[in-house]
Amino acid sequence: MQWWCAAQTAAWSWAWRPYPGVWLFILTVAAAFAWLRRRATSRDDGMRAAGITGILLLWVALDWPIGALGGGYLASLHMVQFLLIALVAPPLLLLGLPAGAVPAHARVLQQATHPLLALLVFIAIVYGTHVPAISDAAMATQWGSFLIDMAWLGGGLLFWWPVVGPGAARERMSPPLRMGYLFALLVFMTGPGAMITFSDVPLFATYELAPRVDGIAALDDQRVAGLLMKVGGGFIIWVAISILFYRWHRTENQLIEREMADVA
C-alpha cells in the first residue's frame, strides 16, 4: 500500500485505493486551520467557508482518484493537481483566516512574505517542478511526489499571502499593485505552459511510459496539461484580478460619495 500518490508500473484501475498519508496531512491542515481561527479575535462565517472549501479542494487534489492519476498516469491531471494545490486552495485557506490569526506584523513573517520574494520563490517553484528531469525523478517515489505537492502548497501560500493574507498582510500593496503582482505570475506561467503545450514530443518520462488510461496518447495528454496551465491558470488569476478590481472600484466610489456628502 502506498501512503502518498506517486508513479506506479501497474495498469490503472478504477478500484479505490487508500492513501493514509494524504488523510493524515489533510487532518493536520484542518487542525492547524481550526487552531489559527481560534487564536483570532474576529470571526466571520463567510471566511470560514472559504477555508473549509480550500481544505476540501486540497483533499480532492491529493487523494484518489485525481491524486493517483496525476501522480503517475496522466500529465493533464498532474496539472489539475498543480492548479488546485498552488492556485486555488491557498487563497481560500488564507481567506479563511481572520485578522489576528497569524501575527502578520511579525518582522520575520513580513520579510519572508515580501511580495517580490514571494513572487520569485513561487515562480522558481513553478518552473523547477516542471523541469522534466526534476519532475520525473520526484514522481518516481512517494517522498519525491510528497515534496512536489508540499512545494506547490507552500509556494502557493507564500505567493497569495500579499494578496489575500489575513489582516495587515494584504495592505502591504495597493490594489493596483496587487493586480500587477498577479499579472506578473500570468506572464511567467506562459513559458512552461507554452513549452508543455507546443512540444513535439512527450517531455515527462513518468507520463510517456506510464500504462495508458483509456488509450489516451501521451502527447495529447501533455498538450491538455499545457493548455490547462495556460488557460486554467490564467482563468484563476483573471478571476482574482477581477475581484480585486471590483472591490477597489467599489471602495473608491464609496470614498468619493462620502467626500461629496461631506462637501454638500
Partner 1 sequence: MRSGMRHTHGRSARGLALLCLILPAVLAACERAAGNDDAQARERRTGFRGVLLDAPLEADFTLTDTRGRPFRFRDEARDNVALLFFGYTHCPDVCPVHLSNLAAVIQRLPYAQRSRIRVVFVTTDPARDTAQRIREWLDAMDPSFIGLRGTVDEVTRIQHALHLPAAALEAARPDGGYDVGHAAQVLAFTDGVARVAYPFGTRQTDWLHDLPILLVQLED
90: buried, middle or exposed (CB in 10 Å: 19+, 13-18, 0-12)? buried
Distance from C-alpha of 261 to C-alpha of 264, rounded to nearest angstrom: 5
Q: Which residue ranges make up the site for partner 1 (CB under 8 A)?
A: 9-11, 116, 120, 123, 127, 131-133, 184, 188, 191-192, 195, 199-205, 208-212, 215, 217-219
For 145, the 3-state DSSP assignment is helix
Q: How far is the CB of 117 from partner 1 (least distance, A)?
A: 10
Distance from C-alpha of 171 to C-alpha of 165, rounded to nearest angstrom: 9
Q: Which is nearer to partner 1, 106 or 217 (CB)?
A: 217
Cell of 47: 471566511
Q: What is the amino acid identity at position 114?
A: H
Q: How far is the CB of 62 from partner 1 (least distance, A)?
A: 25
What ranges in the chain are assigned the alpha helix state H? 20-39, 45-62, 66-72, 75-82, 89-95, 107-112, 115-128, 132-139, 142-164, 175-198, 205-208, 218-227, 233-263
Distance from C-alpha of 43 to C-alpha of 96, rounded to nearest angstrom: 9
Q: Which is nearer to partner 1, 98 or 193 (CB)?
A: 193
Q: Which is nearer to partner 1, 51 or 162 (CB)?
A: 162
Residue 55's Cα: distance from chain center in Å?
12
Residue from 14, 20, 8 nearest 63 by CA: 20
Pair 170, 244: CB distance under 8 Å = no
Q: Which is nearer to partner 1, 220 or 259 (CB)?
A: 220
Spatial CB neighbours of 15, under 8 Å, sequence gap ≥ 6: none
Instruction: Please state, as a whole number, how many other Cβ atoms lie within 10 Å of the Cβ of residue 47.
Output: 21
Q: How far is the CB of 204 from partner 1 (least distance, A)?
A: 8
Q: Which is nearer to partner 1, 46 or 215 (CB)?
A: 215
Q: How far is the CB of 124 from partner 1 (least distance, A)?
A: 9
Q: How far is the CB of 85 from partner 1 (least distance, A)?
A: 21
Distance from C-alpha of 212 to C-alpha of 12, rounded to nearest angstrom: 8
Q: Which is nearer to partner 1, 63 or 136 (CB)?
A: 136
Q: How far is the CB of 202 from partner 1 (least distance, A)?
A: 6
Q: Which is nearer to partner 1, 23 or 188 (CB)?
A: 188
Q: How far is the CB of 51 from partner 1 (least distance, A)?
A: 32
Q: Which is nearer to partner 1, 63 or 221 (CB)?
A: 221
Q: How far is the CB of 66 from partner 1 (least distance, A)?
A: 21
